[in-house]
Amino acid sequence: AQSVAQPEDQVNVAEGNPLTVKCTYSVSGNPYLFWYVQYPNRGLQFLLKYITGDNLVKGSYGFEAEFNKSQTSFHLKKPSALVSDSALYFCAVPVSGGSYIPTFGRGTSLIVHP
Residues near other proteins, by CB under 8 A? 9, 32, 34, 36, 41-46, 49, 51, 90, 94, 96, 99-107
CB of 114 to other proteins, least distance (A): 25
Residue 109 burial (CB count, 10 A): 15
Strand partners, 62: none
- Residue whose CB is less far from other proteins, 51 or 56: 51
- Residue whose CB is less far from other proteins, 12 or 17: 12
- Residue whose CB is less far from other proteins, 52 or 114: 52
CB of 100 to other proteins, least distance (A): 5
- Residue whose CB is less far from other proteins, 9 or 114: 9
CB of 10 to other proteins, least distance (A): 11
Of 104, 90, 93, 58, whose CA–CA distance to 77 is shortest? 58
103 within 8 A of 96, measured Cβ to Cβ: no
Residue type at 25 in one-letter notation: Y
C-alpha 105/C-alpha 52 separation (Å) is 21
